[in-house]
Amino acid sequence: MVYRLSREAEMDWSPEEVTRMHTERLRDRATLGDLPLILLSRTVDSTDAMAAERAALQRDLAALSRHGRQITATRSGHNIHLEDPALVVGAIRDVVTDVRHAPRRKLT
């Protein structure tokens, strides 16, 4: 019962609250600057009603870095690390290579 009540509380979002959160996020936008970033996205499931919104949010996430990019895992669904581990390993290697070849920056 406690689990059910907790889950219901987490899912109880008003449309106004979600709109406010998105508006604040656009106004007070975080950035990753020049840090390398690769976002792996699953193949879009055309039957998923939220697919377009998810794709837009993922593009937005990749744009947090000037060196961000998004790769779609065409051979997997949600569990990319299990269904296409070579893609994940390749993305990690690309980020490590990008970090190693990036100009040294002072931390402030």
pLDDT in tens for each of the 108 residues of the chain? 655 665 566 556 666 776 777 777 777 677 888 889 999 998 866 566 677 777 788 888 888 888 899 999 988 888 899 999 999 999 999 999 998 887 766 544
Longest Cα–Cα distance of the chain, Å, equals 54
Name beta bridge partners: 39: 70
Which residues span the domain enclosing 81? 33-101
* H-state helical runs in 28-102: 51-62, 80-83, 85-101
What's the pLDDT score for residue 8? 63
User: Is residue 37 a part of any domain in this protein?
Assistant: yes
User: Is residue 24 a part of any domain in this protein?
Assistant: no
Separation CA 70–CA 80 (nearest Å): 14
Structural domains in the chain (count): 1
